[in-house]
Amino acid sequence: MRSDEIKQGFSRVPHRSLLRATGLKDEDFDKPFIGVANSFIEIIPGHFFLNKVSELIKEEIRANGCIPFEFNTIGVDDGIAMGHDGMLYSLPSREIIANSIETVMNAHKLDAMIAIPNCDKIVPGMIMGALRVNVPTVFVSGGPMAAGHLKDGTPIDLATAFEAVGQFSAGEIDEAKLTEIECNACPSGGSCSGMFTANSMNTLMEAMGIALPGNGTILALTPERGELYRKAARRICEIAKDNIKSEKFKLRNILNQNAVYNAFAVDMAMGGSSNTVLHMLAIAKEAGVDFNLSDINSVSKKVSHIAKISPSLATVHMEDINRAGGVSAVMHEMKKRGDGILFDNLTITGEMLYERIKDAKIIDTSIIHTIDNPYSQVGGLAILYGNLADQGAVIKTAGIIGDRVFTGTAVCFNSQDEAIKGIIHGKVKAGNVVVIRYEGPKGGPGMQEMLSPTSLIMGMGLGDKVALITDGRFSGATRGASIGHVSPEAAEGGLIGLLQDGDEIHIDVDRYILEVKLTDEEIARRKALFKPLIKPLESSWLRQYRALVTNASNGAILVAE
């Protein structure tokens, strides 16, 4: 066992002495040591109950002949950090989480790991750290929250709350309705109930085979979720106690090229958050997988979009997907199309992916469509290119409101805060393209999510009348013609930084085009005069991050020279 390095032989007397101080007995030193990586934190709705989850998991690990050692990672709630400078810390937290997983697991030579993530950057951060450690790892998330409901029974969620701010600003709803939405949008613990970033990543873990079936859709705080935790704990012990299995189920043997491809394919079929592109590119790099931004459109062309979930379809939430057959049913239906759309691949539960999904079926075709009746013949994400995005930009096509071809005049803002003020005060009109720049990985730094401005646009009735482009990113709750991750970003001299009010911008989603109608001569003239805006930073951590981070087309990973 890997843990023998800290517990076997006479030279490890001091190590065993310290371990005995934690309660270990003689008989425990021959058992596998399991790291229980918990993301419990009291301020995040998807995480405040995970201390109780870890107790259940540790109890099951002990009952199955292994020794659990719980440790914690940090977490940032993107919804709470939204709309102020707290969001600068969200994406950087992914790197802290990955580093903490690597640090604890390798410093103490633990044999295997069960990871308990749920929301925001915590899922990809844990996956990235686990890939570096490369021991058998089972992921089991806290689970999605139930949808909220208004008094008339209308289902609502966090996206409803953000869009209500825009509706209230436009005088479309009164304070009583605003309060009703506030008090009912997030009714319980769990990751926010739509196909936002958290549930997108929790779903993709099923597609990658690193989590058990149901991980993405079984509601939090239910007996069914409790049984999933116990199954995950039993499985990691079964692997850890068998030397052959421990080698076979090392994480990189499961999360390989095929798994990354499958994740993107399922993402396309279910219209996941555009943030999954950022995180899956980073995960691919940690896994040593050759998968680039330019490969995504080729996947999308093979995938039919068969499940629409909030925010793309406001009435459908994760509990509905679970009732309709879950992620396994989506994959089973995808497989019918062929075209190499899914690869058969080993899963952490021991079976191949096709074996896992062979008996799955759609129970409600109004929630999960059949391959013969898709929402679209192509996937729910696309990568756009052109002179405004030499290295690519991302749009969640599943969330588009209105036409897929749009030409409009630029209204430029040098920060999200500027944009919010401008939108509220009527600076944005029908026919405009809202440009929000200096919010990329370096420029922000940290790629702020743009849910506040996009929700204002939707709430003010402009969702099908304007487009938005940014070198920042979007919340999974964003909908509308919203294009993010524009690379190169403004802070590194990208053309988005040279745009001026009134410039004509052309978007053609189906032809993958994002361009500004400027002559080469005019672009050269502007470049000669251009000096990127560098925001001053008091935070030493954010200064370190800005110095090391790559742009979004590379997954915003940290690269030390």
What pLDDT does residue 341 have? 83
What pLDDT does residue 560 have? 75
Is residue 380 very low, low, confident or very high in pLDDT (cuts 50, 70, 90)? confident
Sequence-separated (6 or more) residues with CB below 8 Å from residue 154: none
Is residue 561 very low, low, confident or very high in pLDDT (cuts 50, 70, 90)? low
Give yes or no for a cis peptide into 68 (omega within 30° of 0). Answer: no
Q: According to CATH, where is 3.40.50.2300 located in the chain? A: 31-147+188-357
Helix axes 257-270, 197-208, angle to 10 degrees: 140
Q: What is the pLDDT of residues 178-189, one digit of tens each?
A: 999 999 999 999
Is residue 115 very low, low, confident or very high in pLDDT (cuts 50, 70, 90)? very high
Q: How many helices and strands (H and E) does the chain possess?
A: 22, 14
Is residue 160 very low, low, confident or very high in pLDDT (cuts 50, 70, 90)? very high
List C-alpha distances in Å: 431 to 158, 362, 427, 467, 555.
Answer: 28, 41, 12, 8, 31
Residues of 386-410 as b/e, b for ≥16 C-beta within 10 angstroms? Answer: bebbebbbbbbbbbbeeeeebebeb
**CA quadruple 10, 16, 18, 21: dihedral sign:** negative
Q: Is residue 427 packed enough to be buried (19+ CB in 10 Å), middle (13-18) or exposed (0-12)?
A: middle
What pLDDT does residue 368 have? 98
**Residue of 340 and 555 predicted with greater confidence:** 555
pLDDT exceeds cutoff 80 at 305 = yes
- Mean pLDDT over the full length of the chain: 94
Separation between Cα atoms, residue 367 and residue 315, nearest integer Å:
10
Region 277-302 average pLDDT:
94
Is residue 84 very low, low, confident or very high in pLDDT (cuts 50, 70, 90)? confident
Looking at residue 552, what DSSP letter applies? G
Q: Contact, 474 vs 439, CB < 8 A?
A: no
Does the pTM surpass 0.85? The reply is yes
- Look up tokens 């002559």; give the residue: 519
Looking at residue 362, what DSSP letter applies? -
pLDDT exceeds cutoff 70 at 533 = yes
Architecture label for domain 383-554 = 3-Layer(bba) Sandwich (3.50)
Is residue 397 very low, low, confident or very high in pLDDT (cuts 50, 70, 90)? confident
Q: What is the pLDDT of residues 34-65, one digit of tens each?
A: 999 999 999 999 999 999 999 999 999 999 99
Separation between Cα atoms, residue 512 and residue 394, nearest integer Å:
10
What's the fold here for domain 31-147+188-357? Rossmann fold (3.40.50)
Region 417-433 average pLDDT:
93
Number of Cβ within 10 Å of residue 335's Cβ equals 17
Separation between Cα atoms, residue 191 and residue 143, nearest integer Å:
6
**Residue of 109 and 377 predicted with greater confidence:** 109
**CA quadruple 343, 344, 350, 356: dihedral sign:** positive
Q: Contact, 483 vs 395, CB < 8 A?
A: yes
Q: Beta-strand (E) ranges in 371-425?
A: 382-386, 389-395, 405-413
Q: According to CATH, where is 3.50.30.80 located in the chain? A: 383-554
Among 263-272, 326-335, 477-486, the least confident range: 477-486
Q: What is the pLDDT of residues 194-237, one digit of tens each?
A: 999 999 999 999 999 999 999 999 999 999 999 999 999 999 99
Quick one: tokens of 330?
A: 């989506």
Separation between Cα atoms, residue 180 and residue 224, nearest integer Å:
30
What pLDDT does residue 478 have? 66
Residues of 99-122 as b/e, b for ≥16 C-beta within 10 angstroms? Answer: bbbbebbeebbbbbbbbbbbbbbb
What pLDDT does residue 450 have? 82
Region 396-417 average pLDDT:
89
Region 116-121 average pLDDT:
94
Q: Contact, 122 vs 73, CB < 8 A?
A: yes
Beta bridge partners of 138: 114
- Percent of the chain exceeding pLDDT 70 equals 99
Quick one: tokens of 535?
A: 């925001």
What is the DSSP secondary-structure string of 477-522? Answer: T--SSEEEEEES-GGGT-GGGG--TT-EEEEETTTTEEEE---HHH
Separation between Cα atoms, residue 138 and residue 155, nearest integer Å:
33
Q: What is the pLDDT of residues 433-490, one digit of tens each?
A: 999 999 999 999 999 888 788 888 888 888 889 999 999 998 766 667 889 999 999 9
Which residues carry out catalysis?
475
Residues in the chain: 561
Quick one: tokens of 257?
A: 């090229």
